[in-house]
Structures are given as C-alpha cells and as structure tokens.
Amino acid sequence: MNDRAKFYRRMHDIPESWGTAVNVQSMVFGNMGESSATGVAFTRNPSTGENRLYGEFLINAQGEDVVAGIRTPQPLTKAAREEMGDVSPSMEEALPEVFTQFREVVERLEKHYRDMQDIEFTVEKGRLYMLQTRNGKRTAKAALKVAVDLASEGLITKEEAVMRVEPGSLDQLLHPTIDPGSPRDVIASGLPASPGAATGKVVFTAEEAEKLGGAGEAVILVREETSPEDIRGMDAARGIVTARGGMTSHAAVVARGMGRPCVSGAGEIRIDGKAGEFHARGRTIKAYDIITIDGSTGEVLAGAVKMIEPELSGDFGTLMGWADGVRRLKVRANAETALDAGTARQFGAEGIGLCRTEHMFFDPARIAAVREMILADDEAGRRAALAKILPMQRQDFVELFKIMEGLPVTIRLLDPPLHEFLPHTEEDLAAVAEATGLDPKKLMLRAKELHEVNPMLGHRGCRLGVAYPEIYEMQVRAIVEAACEVVGEGRPAPIPEIMHPLVAKGEEMKFLRDLTDRTAKTVIEERGCQIDYKVGTMVELPRAAIRAGDLAANAEFFSFGTNDLTQTTFGISRDDSGRFLGHYIEKGIFEKDPFVSLDQEGVGDLIRIAAERGRAARPDVKLGICGEHGGDPASIQFCEEVGLDYVSCSPYRVPIARLAAAQAAIGEREKDR
Amino acid sequence: MNDRAKFYRRMHDIPESWGTAVNVQSMVFGNMGESSATGVAFTRNPSTGENRLYGEFLINAQGEDVVAGIRTPQPLTKAAREEMGDVSPSMEEALPEVFTQFREVVERLEKHYRDMQDIEFTVEKGRLYMLQTRNGKRTAKAALKVAVDLASEGLITKEEAVMRVEPGSLDQLLHPTIDPGSPRDVIASGLPASPGAATGKVVFTAEEAEKLGGAGEAVILVREETSPEDIRGMDAARGIVTARGGMTSHAAVVARGMGRPCVSGAGEIRIDGKAGEFHARGRTIKAYDIITIDGSTGEVLAGAVKMIEPELSGDFGTLMGWADGVRRLKVRANAETALDAGTARQFGAEGIGLCRTEHMFFDPARIAAVREMILADDEAGRRAALAKILPMQRQDFVELFKIMEGLPVTIRLLDPPLHEFLPHTEEDLAAVAEATGLDPKKLMLRAKELHEVNPMLGHRGCRLGVAYPEIYEMQVRAIVEAACEVVGEGRPAPIPEIMHPLVAKGEEMKFLRDLTDRTAKTVIEERGCQIDYKVGTMVELPRAAIRAGDLAANAEFFSFGTNDLTQTTFGISRDDSGRFLGHYIEKGIFEKDPFVSLDQEGVGDLIRIAAERGRAARPDVKLGICGEHGGDPASIQFCEEVGLDYVSCSPYRVPIARLAAAQAAIGEREKDR
C-alpha cells in the first residue's frame, strides 16, 4: 500500500487491515469506461486546513480502487496536479463539465453542513453521483485553520469556531512532532506521559544528562524512574524515558511541567546500568546510541526520525482570543522557575496557581543548608540553617513576582516529608557526609528516624509547619520581603497567595493563619511597606473537603489538590497503582485513569461539597484547582459546572485549558437555555 | 503522707501536691476541744460500693488535719473500728448523739440526691454542721454495686442504674489490676494501649516468648514494635511493651484483641538486642529480669507488684442484663481464633463482626503455601498453592461457625498486601529460602518487586481479588464448604457474611459480588446443601462512603472500617502519626487521637453520608462498624445517633460496648422526649 493510500485510509477511518473489502454503495459504477470515474474529496485540505478543494479520483475505477493503493489516483484540480508534478490529467482537465458541477455541489454541501466535508462520489458515463458526505476528519492544525476560516467567512460564529477544535489536540501544535510520513522503528512502548517528540543520545544518569546537555548535546535520559534529585538532569535532556511509573509519576509530572516529551512506564525496557545499556524486544541499545521518543504515543524509536516543528500561526492566536472572550474560568500555571513562569505567560497564563517551594530546596546550593536544618538538634539549630536559605528563597520570589507583573502568585509552603531531602542509599549518605562534613553516623541515624511506612500519609505538608513553625515562618518572611522589594523598585505590586498544604482541620488552619499573619505583620512593619497578601489552603484531603466551612473561617482561598485528593479518596497511591490499575482497566472497572481525568462522581462530589460548604462560610472564598486535572478538558468542564474561579496546570497545557474553559462556558450557557 | 490520707485525697480529687492548703469552709471550728471534731464520710464504701456508712474523723481538729496525714483519723462507726482493730474510739462511740443525728442526715441526703454522697462535716462543741455534700467519686467496682443496689432499693430506675456506670471503667473489672496500695517503681512510661496488668520475665523476641510461655513461664515481650509474625509470641506472653507505635499500632490492636495488657510507644526505652537488655531513665533491665506492666496507665514497673484479680460479680451480670434490655445496637466481636470467639461469646457478643482471614495465613503450617502462591509464575501455580490452603482455611471456619452456633459471622477476605507475607530482611529471606527450598534469588526478586512506596494505599484489599480472583474464590469456597459441613452435622446453620475489603467503586463491588455468587453457587450445587449467606463490603475509603449507593446495589451490608477510613479521610498513616500527633495535641489542634475516638465531624460525616446513600439505594442494607472505634463509648454513642445496626469490637471490649450502647439508646430516647 502506498503512502497516499495510507493517508486516505487514516483520514477516512479505514483500518489498514481492511484490505479492499471497503463497502462503498455500488448501485452506480465508476468502471464503465473512460467517462466513468470514482473519487474522494475534502472541501478543504484536511492536513493543513487550506481552503482549496482537495482529493483524488480514478478514471474507470470503483471506490475501493482509490483506497486500495493498487492504482495511483490523480488529483482533482489542475493546480494540484501541477504542484505535484503529475502527468496524468486531473479531474478538472479530464472531466471538465462534471468537475464544474461537482465543485458547485461540494460548495453547497459545505455551506449546508457548515463544516469541511469529506465526500465520496462516482461518475457513471459522464453523470455525477454523490455517494456520501460527512464532516471530514482533520489534523489539529487543519481543525484550527478551518474553524477560524469558517468563522471569518461568516459560515459559523466565533463561538462555534471555538467549539470546533478539540482542546487536547492543541498539544500537537505546541510541541515538535514526528513527521507522520516517516517510518517508525519501534523498540519499546510505554505511556504517552508528556507530548512532543525528541531525538538524542541515550544517557542513564541525571549527572550525565546535565553534563552533555550543558555542553549542547541532545540527550534522552533513560531511567528506571526519576526522583527530585534528577530534576536538573531532566531539564538538560531533550526527553525522558522511564521503565516504571504511570501518567502521574514524578517523571511524567515534571516533564509535562518542563514541556519535555516523556514516555513513562515502558515496562519492556530493562536497564543494565553497569553495562551501560538497555534491552527491549530482544534488542540492545547502548549509551550514546541515538533514539527518538514520541511522547504523544508513548513510543521509543531507534535512530533519528524526521520532525515537524510547531508553528504557532496567526490562526492559533485568533482562536485563543475568541476563546478568552467567552470563558469565565481563569487559567493559571503551575510554575516555580523563571523559565516555567515565562513559558506560562507566553502561553497566556493569568497567574501562578501553584508554586511548589520544595523544588527550590533541591538546588545544590541550598540542599546543604536544608540538610543542616534537618539534622539540627533543636529549634535554634534549625533557625540558623533556615537563615542561610532565606535570602535565596526571597530571591526566587523576587524573580517570580517580576515575571508575573502583578498577577496573582499562589505559593505553597514546604510540602514533602523531610526524608526526601536526605540521600537514600548508604553510598549516597557516605558521599554527602564526605562532601558536606556532616557526621555520617548522625546523617544515617536521622535518615532512619525519618523513614516512614506510608510517606504519602506521613509527616509532610502543614504538619511540618505545625511541628517546626520556624520553617514556615522563614518561607512567609521570604515571600513578604520579596513582595516589599519588588514594590520598592516601583514595579506592579505582587499579589502573593500564601498556601498551606495538607490541612485537615479548622484548628490547624487557624494555627497556620496566625503564624502567617504574625510573620507578615512583622516584616511589613520592619520594612514599612504596603503589601496585600492572601492566606489559603490546599483542599487535598477528604476531611478538608467535608469540613471546608471550618477551613474557610481562616482561608481566603482553596486550591483543590486533586492529585492527593484522588489518592486519599480512592485510597490509591499513585506510585503503587501501576501494579493493579491495569487489571482494573482490563476488567472494565475503571474506564480511565482517575489520576489523568478527574473522577467526577467520587472526588468530584467531594469538591462540590467543599465548594458549597466553603462558600456558605465565606461567600467570596476563591476556588481553584491545581492538580494534574487542571489541564484536562473533561475535568475543566467539571470545574466550570461546579463554578470554580480558576484552573491551574502545566505551562504547556495553558492554551489547552484556555480553550477547554471556553468550551465549558459555552456548554454551560447552552444548558441554561 | 500515709496511705489512708492518699486514698482520701484521691477520692476527693485533692492533688498530692496541695499539701495542707485545702480550703474547707471554716466558719465553724472542729478544734474547740474534745466535743468538737471534723470528718469526711461516704454514704457507701467508695472502694467496694458496700452499703455501709464509711469515713473518718478527728476529735479536736480542723478539716485539713483529716487529709493532711499528720494525725491518723478514726473510723466513724464502731463496726469499722473493730474490723480495723483500732483502739481509739469511733465517732459512734465518742460522740453517740451527734453520730445518730449525723447518720439520719446523711441517709436523708442520699435519698434526696439519689446517689452515694461524699460529705464533709464539723462538730463544734457537740453541734453538727454539714459543710458539703456531693455525689461521691468511686471505683468501677463500687460504681457497679452502688448502681445495682440503688436500683434494687428502688431509689433509682434500672435505666438510671445503667447510666450510672462509666462504660470504659468496666475495663478495670475485666482484667487483673495493680493493687492501688502497692508502691510503684516506675522505670518507663508509654501509652495505655491495652488495659490490665501483668508481671513476668523480660524477653526480647517472639520466639523466646513462645518457648518460655509455652513452658508455662510468665513473660513480658519487649519489642521495638511488633509485626504479624510476632503474633504467636504475643499470645504466649502475659503482656507486651513496645518502644514505638501508638494506641493503634499493631501491638496495641493485637494485644487488645487478645486481652493482653500492653504499653506501646514507651519512647524512653532503648532496646539493645545484642546485649540482651533495655535502658530507660538511666536504668538497665536485662533479659529475664522481672517487670510489671500496667496497661491501664501505660507504666512499666520494676519487679513484681501485688495484683487484684478480676471478679465478675453478680452485680456485673445484673447490670449487663439491664443494659441489654434497653439497647438497640447489636454488639459483635472482632475475632478469628477459637479462643477469641469463645471469649467474645462469654462476654456476650452477638456475632462476629470482623474475622480477619489474613491472621489465619501467618500460621507456620500455612505460610509456606502462602509464599508458594506469591512466588507462582502464573494462575495455575497460584491455584495449586491455594489448593493446599483451602482445607485449613475451611477448618478455621468450621470451628468458628460451631462456636458461634448460628450467630452471624462476618468474614473479611484477604486484605494486606502480599509482601507482608514475605520475610523482610535479607537474613530472613535466606533463612526462609533454606527452610522451604524456595529459590532465594526468586524470593528476593519477588520481595523487591512487591515493595510499595505507600503499602497502605497499595495493592491490597479487594485489589488482590480483582488481580488474582483465584485467591478470593478459594476463600469463598472455604467459607461455603465449612457452612455446609456444619449444617451437615445437624448444628445450627451458620450465617456467613462474606465481606470484601477496600472497595471504592460500584463496578468493583459488582465484580466481587459475581465472583462470590458464582463460587458459592458451585459449592452449593456440588454439596447439595442449603446455605444462606450475605455479600457485603467494608466502607473504609472516602469514595466508598460518597458512592455508597453504587456499592449498595451489590452489597447487602456495609461494615465501616473506621481505622482505614480515618487514615484516608485525614491523610494520616497510623504507623507514622507518632511523629507529629504529639505536636498537634500539644498545640490544641487535636483534642483526642482520632484513631481512638471517632472524629465525628469529619469521618463521622462520611459515615452519615454513606448510611443515607446506602439506605436510599437498598433500604434494608445492614450497617455496622468494625474499627477500633467499635469499642469506644463516645463512638458508640455516634453509631446510635446515625442508626447503625451493630458495633463490633475486641472481645474484651464487648461488655463496654453493650453498656455504652444501652446508654446511647437511653440518651437518644431522652432526646426524642
């Protein structure tokens, strides 16, 4: 089968396995001689969206001949034939009268159905028969252009144009993609964890990724799984592959945030770190071999493959503008680095919905002070170590506030359990002790003491702030000092939203609110500056949702942390769900992974309860969502229904969220009618 | 201060630190000569409840002299003086006229207040002044006797008698206790994890506990913490001490179930396993040294201490009978062994509310087959191993059904993650491989594969039954075959209630229901027997509560697993909460440990929602609770309010639950009036 036939089949939803058994209505015959023909057409180019009749036909042939790939069909128009350098005449040239009639009919059909049409036709002895017309399948790029063009031509409204583009498909426009015409030598397959494609040399450690990546080499980081220490290596790599972990594993979440393509949970891959190679499907790929990953399909390919670079055309901007005009939900981004914040703004984010301060603690310049704090014997020791972190943390916020130019920035105080900041293996412990001069025995003992059976449900989130208020005091101080500094420079006043994670009780929120206000007041008095800030909480535990009224007494905003809320509501650890979710999906118990698309019945009901109870206690409580679901169109639809104020997602998903929010708003308005 | 003074102080709520600064109204003076006196009295004995005037006085003295312990007070009555062999005259002898008047007054006071009175009086120059009367504090034993006596005397109703005894105090009557008069040489202090007291030789391993305990020696097992493998050693010990873990740690839960006293989380204790000793408060206790533990106070004492054995007197039976007459909630026990089931029935349990089948898997005779199943490469291998377990598992149920004589028995199918059945350390792995002939490498690899980041939220509960249906099929088969066998012997037909743990979705419940019915039907047809059984689910995940309607479609009963429901609702791991709950209680954020007394606002609201939604979908769905809270009076009160059908608790808490349920029923009836 030739490529053109394959393309038709794809556009017509015809599986390749179907062979020639395509059932075209065959009461008329296109194989009755040279004045007979059969063909398929799109009223516009389904690949680019260009407004030009597009299609192919065969003289003296039946419908299946066009798609079977045995004879090569000819283009419909003269212009197309000339562009392609074809010799055989186009339909326009071979059957000019029929063609003129055909062109009129298809134009009428497009106007009637108000969308690009996919048409099958037969000419029997000079007479045109229309066999079928339907809305044509199209690429993301074409969908965008067709929608904008149809609206510009007055055939549909701008709102209809907004409804015509599948938000998730924008991913194809925002990342490089593999040329669909290129052959794919698949060596392993995993989950499509972060979209886009990348080619590079295989490396097996974050350190090497950082070294080679820093030297300008394109590398793909291949790991069993990733952890926070790998972040700089992940950032330096063009793409990431992991053998374990799901759609919401560390690798997947971080890669999406960074806009790096990622294939996660490629269980076929067995990494042999010692030999410096990995094995999959009986093949061996060595370090520095070139591979390509397709994060949109989850495939890992051998060698380099031809790429198509993204092109954010004028149509994209036009459609997003229309979307912004109708949506009610604000769209923010989850970002903590200057790079992410910049990307987020470029993609139209209206603020930061989640700045995870712990990401700032892994920086090599700081981790030593963080560890010193963890090892401190008492509060005084912890405060001394925190004093070293304060200026760096403040600088982080200064930078973010400047980039965000007065847009709201929600900053989540330290969340992960402290043991995440300590090295995990005895070797690493020894190395860290050696490098930092910390007592290795003490380091080992403390790591052992901090070990938890279920770290997800352990000493983390605001439980750190309750046990060691000095940590949160340092962070609040850094935030408020940074805000004062930015205002002092005459820049737009930041709106810091100080967010406490993992709150479960009203009393807890009260304690945290008092701590925050007390610290902020001190700084404001010290600096003599005018700063507005808000204090709020994550709602990521079922109890927080149930007792939202208690929390709202001291929280000006809620951000639904749907990752953790899904974990606790289902009692499913994301990190461990790989073992059984497969059985569940196979047996039809789960339709989709609840960590990807919000479980609206269960987790969603808790969100609904929290929104109701929170608003009953504080009518103007601001409500947002900052879990992975904040970038999922179906989940955004739900956020609109529940009446949240904003969604927050990875920078690269901001356009998707903007479009999905617009569609949700239009959908809700339709319902009201 | 002498013992008698100490006793008075305790009964009068006077802290020992108060010295003589007791503020008695002193407008009259008992120190005006030999016809003056001062004293305290109880209308009945506050220690035993005996209906006899009880108290002491001093001639020519002020109130504080009686409690200061400088002069020794004399008894009030001649009989008491004679019994005690005192020489100095009693009040009855020294001031006969005043005494007669006093006796009349106190009798009138008791009748008026309809309760045992605690009275202070002064005689000034032959004239009696009543200084104060109030309901007297009393021991659990006295409370019981006084309540039963007052009702028998017609002073109060039987319902009032039921309300007069604090259910939690019954613990003192059901276990040996330390003689309050004995000196206590406290060497460490922890949590009062399981009531009662025990004396024995210190041992540090479960194996040694089993060996010495089996040989009839009294031993106390002292461990860092316990795990399921320690169960037989715990059972062989008289009492258990752990250095780590809370009120709901493995040690605490198992000890309460077994009725063994336990002190958990005695953080002061540092165990040196190699040296065979532990250190606490600067002292060293070696293996085989005698210690005594008080599981009601959490104290660990050096040496042997005098004990008071429990005496389930006729009054106990009388009061429990009255309680049973008014309560609505049924009371069941959590039990899986014949011993526990027998204890439960003896204490009046009306069924088994939770039989944890995993406890049956740790038996040394079975663990090999269990491990064989875990290591099997495929379903056939698992089925072969399960076939070995089936007859043993069936025999477990035969035994339970016989003991329970037709009462309902709720059997929970396998719940813990499979890695709990594998050895944890490399040494143990090697030993197991050696002993069983299993491939050590394979064992190691499988243990590594099964390792989970958050086992609490991992591959456990019905997720095992979904992934490996053959496990649950074997268990259902064992249950139904056992029921057939018992019926075949002409015994009362058992009512097995087959319970699926950790269900979160309606589709999951449907799958499990189908599996259960299909297997049961096969067995019933094979055996040609008539068996009724029910299929139900734990409600122990927030989502199960929220979607209770979906679950009820295929569940005939719900059992609220409030241990796990508390963990997931709060996002707090019981095993890890020790790190921060202290800070929370210290800062007033938690009033009580939510794992001990049900969090009625949060977890309770989910139970309320589940009860409503479950009943809406299936009006006759049976509702019970089987978490630790099932034996907590405040939580039982809540269960009555929500209208559950039964509570289930440790066998030793059954009487407490019966009394608490009666009080709750009376309380609810009062509210309705």
Question: Worst-scoring range by mean pLDDT, A24-28, B519-523, B555-559?
Answer: A24-28
Residues A212 and A254 in one domain: yes
The beta-strand segments (E) located in B166-230 are 177-178, 186-189, 191-194, 197-203, 219-223
The pLDDT assigned to A9 comes to 56
Tell me, yes or no, whether B422 lies in a domain.
no
Asked if A457 and B590 come within 8 Å (Cβ–Cβ), the reply is no
Q: Known catalytic residue: A626?
A: yes
The pLDDT assigned to B232 comes to 83
Distance of residue A95 Cα from the nearest chain B Cα, in angstroms? 59
Nearest to A571 among B541, B546, B605 (CB): B541
Asked if B467 and A568 come within 8 Å (Cβ–Cβ), the reply is no
Proportion of chain B in helix, strand, coil states, percent, rounded to 5:
50, 20, 35
The pLDDT assigned to A635 comes to 96
Provide the b/e sequence for A644-664 (b: ≥16 CB within 10 Å). bbbbbbbbbbbbbbbbbbbbb
What CATH number did the domain enclosing A34 receive?
Answer: 3.30.470.20
Distance CA B299, CA A202 (A): 61
Average pLDDT over residues B507-511: 98
A668 class by beta-carbon count within 10 Å (0-12 exposed, 13-18 middle, 19+ buried):
middle
Asked if A606 and B546 come within 8 Å (Cβ–Cβ), the reply is yes
Nearest to B458 among A564, A573, A590 (CB): A573
Average pLDDT over residues B146-155: 96
- Beta-carbon contacts of residue A401 (< 8 Å; ≥ 6 apart): A409, A482, A483, A486, A491, A494, A496
Nearest to A570 among B456, B541, B584 (CB): B541
Asked if B454 and A459 come within 8 Å (Cβ–Cβ), the reply is no
Tell me, yes or no, whether B162 lies in a domain.
no
Residues A531 and A612 in one domain: yes
Catalytic, out of A175, A250, A359, A629: A250
Q: Which of B73, B85, B80, B16 is nearest to B48 (CA)?
A: B80
* B54 backbone φψ class: left, alpha, beta (φ>0; ψ -120 to 50): beta
The pLDDT assigned to A586 comes to 87
The pLDDT assigned to B573 comes to 94
Average pLDDT over residues B421-425: 84
3-state secondary structure B584-615: HHHCCCCCCCCCCCCCCCCHHHHHHHHHHHHH
Any A CB within 8 A of B586 CB? no
The pLDDT assigned to B24 comes to 47
Catalytic, out of A462, A626, A639, A649: A626
B70 class by beta-carbon count within 10 Å (0-12 exposed, 13-18 middle, 19+ buried):
middle
Judging contacts by C-beta atoms under 8 Å, the chain A residues touching residue B507 are 588-590
List the single best residue of B569, B593, B607 to mutate versus A (max A Cβ within 10 A). Answer: B569
Can you give the pTM of this predicted structure? 0.85
- Beta-carbon contacts of residue A131 (< 8 Å; ≥ 6 apart): A24, A25, A28, A63, A120, A121, A122
List the single best residue of B589, B591, B601, B612 to mutate versus A (max A Cβ within 10 A). Answer: B589
List the single best residue of B250, B452, B580 to mutate versus A (max A Cβ within 10 A). Answer: B580
Nearest to A454 among B456, B507, B540 (CB): B456
Any A CB within 8 A of B543 CB? yes
Q: Which of B189, B198, B310 is nearest to B260 (CA)?
A: B198
Contact A204, A230 (CB under 8 A): no
Tokens 């989640």: give the residue.
A354
A91-125, pLDDT tens digit by residue? 999 999 999 999 999 999 999 999 999 999 999 99
Distance of residue B590 Cα from the nearest chain A Cα, in angstroms? 8
Distance of residue B454 Cα from the nearest chain A Cα, in angstroms? 4
Tokens 């698949």: give the residue.
A186
Contact A570, A602 (CB under 8 A): yes
CA A110 to chain centre: 34
Residues B332 and B298 in one domain: no
Question: Could you tell me the residue range of the domain that residue B611 belongs to?
Answer: 327-417+452-672
Tokens 């196979």: give the residue.
A586
Residues A46 and A105 in one domain: yes
Tell me, yes or no, whether B426 lies in a domain.
no
Residues B58 and B199 in one domain: no
Of A277, A308, A339, the residue that ends a domain is A308
Report which secondary-structure segment, H or E, holds B670. helix B654-672
Two structure tokens written together for B189? 């202090």
B415: helix, strand or coil: coil
B454-484, pLDDT tens digit by residue? 999 999 999 999 999 999 999 999 999 999 9
Report which secondary-structure segment, H or E, holds A92. helix A91-94
Any A CB within 8 A of B606 CB? yes
Question: Worst-scoring range by mean pLDDT, A128-142, A290-304, B3-17, B168-182?
Answer: B3-17
Distance of residue A241 Cα from the nearest chain B Cα, in angstroms? 20
* B598 backbone φψ class: left, alpha, beta (φ>0; ψ -120 to 50): beta
B386-399, pLDDT tens digit by residue? 999 999 999 999 99
Distance CA B335, CA A213 (A): 61
The pLDDT assigned to A67 comes to 66
Asked if A457 and B454 come within 8 Å (Cβ–Cβ), the reply is yes
The HSE-up count of residue B168 (CA atoms within 13 Å, CB side) is 12
Asked if B576 and A511 come within 8 Å (Cβ–Cβ), the reply is no
What CATH number did the domain enclosing A181 receive?
Answer: 3.50.30.10
Distance CA A512, CA A462 (A): 8
Distance CA A141, CA A180 (A): 13
A503 class by beta-carbon count within 10 Å (0-12 exposed, 13-18 middle, 19+ buried):
buried
Nearest to A504 among B453, B570, B583 (CB): B570
Residues B478 and B360 in one domain: yes
List the single best residue of B448, B460, B508, B579 to mutate versus A (max A Cβ within 10 A). Answer: B579
Distance CA B209, CA B262 (A): 15
Residues A331 and A304 in one domain: no
Any A CB within 8 A of B542 CB? yes
Any B CB within 8 A of A458 CB? yes
Query: Which residue ranges of chain A lie beneath pLDDT 50?
Result: 1, 17-22, 24-26
Distance of residue B646 Cα from the nearest chain A Cα, in angstroms? 25
Tell me, yes or no, whether B63 lies in a domain.
yes
| Helix intervals (H) in A376-503 | 379-404, 426-436, 440-450, 462-467, 469-488
Judging contacts by C-beta atoms under 8 Å, the chain B residues touching residue A592 are none
Other beta carbons within 10 angstroms of residue A487's beta carbon come to 17
A266-317, pLDDT tens digit by residue? 988 999 988 899 999 999 999 999 999 999 889 999 999 998 877 666 899 9
Nearest to A457 among B505, B572, B584 (CB): B572
Tell me, yes or no, whether A427 lies in a domain.
no
Asked if the model's pLDDT at residue B607 lies above 70, the reply is yes
| Helix intervals (H) in A347-439 | 364-375, 379-404, 426-436
The residues facing B58 across adjacent strands are B38
Residues A526 and A484 in one domain: yes
Asked if A568 and B569 come within 8 Å (Cβ–Cβ), the reply is yes
Any A CB within 8 A of B508 CB? yes
* Confidence band, pLDDT 50/70/90 cuts, at residue B499: very high
| Closest residue in chain B to residue A467, using alpha carbons only | B583
Tokens 């999905």: give the residue.
A660
Highest-scoring range by mean pLDDT, A118-127, A183-192, B78-87, B539-548 = B539-548
Q: Which of A343, A409, A371, A455 is nearest to A557 (CA)?
A: A409
**Inter-CA distances, B406 with A241, B334, B490, B521, B533, Å:** 58, 16, 11, 21, 12
Asked if A580 and B466 come within 8 Å (Cβ–Cβ), the reply is yes
Counted domains in chain B: 3
Any A CB within 8 A of B379 CB? no
**Inter-CA distances, B64 with A65, A412, B121, B428, Å:** 114, 59, 12, 64
Distance CA B382, CA B467 (A): 12
Of B308, B339, B362, the residue that ends a domain is B308
Distance CA B213, CA B225 (A): 19
Any B CB within 8 A of A457 CB? yes
Contact B565, B603 (CB under 8 A): yes
How many Cβ pairs within 8 Å bridge chains A and B? 172
| Closest residue in chain A to residue B469, using alpha carbons only | A583
Asked if B587 and A466 come within 8 Å (Cβ–Cβ), the reply is yes
B198-207, pLDDT tens digit by residue? 999 999 999 9
Asked if A543 and B570 come within 8 Å (Cβ–Cβ), the reply is yes
Residues A245 and A367 in one domain: no
B320-364, pLDDT tens digit by residue? 999 999 999 999 999 998 988 998 999 999 999 999 998 888 877
Asked if the model's pLDDT at residue B380 lies above 90, the reply is yes
Tell me, yes or no, whether B354 lies in a domain.
yes
Other beta carbons within 10 angstroms of residue B3's beta carbon come to 11
What CATH number did the domain enclosing A409 receive?
Answer: 3.20.20.60
Any A CB within 8 A of B572 CB? yes
Residues B300 and B336 in one domain: no
Any A CB within 8 A of B608 CB? no
- Which position has the higher pLDDT, B423 or B529? B529
Task: Please work out, in degrees rounded to the nearest 5, the angle formed at the alpha carbon of residue B568 by the alpha carbons of B563 and B570.
Answer: 95
Any A CB within 8 A of B554 CB? no
Asked if B504 and A564 come within 8 Å (Cβ–Cβ), the reply is no
Distance CA B631, CA B636 (A): 7
| Closest residue in chain B to residue A606, using alpha carbons only | B546
**Inter-CA distances, B643 with A94, A141, A171, B623, B646, Å:** 84, 59, 52, 8, 9
Tell me, yes or no, whether A321 lies in a domain.
no
Strand order of the β-sheet with B54-59 is: B74-75, B54-59, B37-42, B117-124, B127-135
- Which position has the higher pLDDT, B5 or A427? A427
B268-279, pLDDT tens digit by residue? 899 998 889 999
* Alpha-carbon dihedral sign for residues A167, A170, A174, A177: positive
Task: Please work out, in degrees rounded to the nearest 5, the angle formed at the alpha carbon of residue A363 by the alpha carbons of A358 and A366.
Answer: 90
Average pLDDT over residues B216-238: 88
Distance CA B657, CA B631 (A): 5
Residues B578 and B612 in one domain: yes
Q: Which of B135, B149, B143, B137 is nearest to B172 (CA)?
A: B143
Contact B196, B307 (CB under 8 A): no
Asked if the model's pLDDT at residue B632 lies above 70, the reply is yes
Judging contacts by C-beta atoms under 8 Å, the chain A residues touching residue B500 are none
Tell me, yes or no, whether A431 lies in a domain.
no
Two structure tokens written together for B28? 């009259």
Two structure tokens written together for A424? 């995990």
Residues B128 and B12 in one domain: yes
* Alpha-carbon dihedral sign for residues B511, B515, B518, B521: negative
A594-628, pLDDT tens digit by residue? 988 999 999 999 999 999 999 999 999 999 999 88
* B356 backbone φψ class: left, alpha, beta (φ>0; ψ -120 to 50): beta
Provide the b/e sequence for A158-187 (b: ≥16 CB within 10 Å). bbbbbbbbbbbbbbbbbbbbbeeeeeeeeb
| Helix intervals (H) in B528-599 | 542-546, 548-552, 562-570, 578-586
Two structure tokens written together for A377? 């014997």
Of A78, A108, A138, the residue that ends a domain is A138
**What's chain A's Rg over C-alpha atoms?**
29
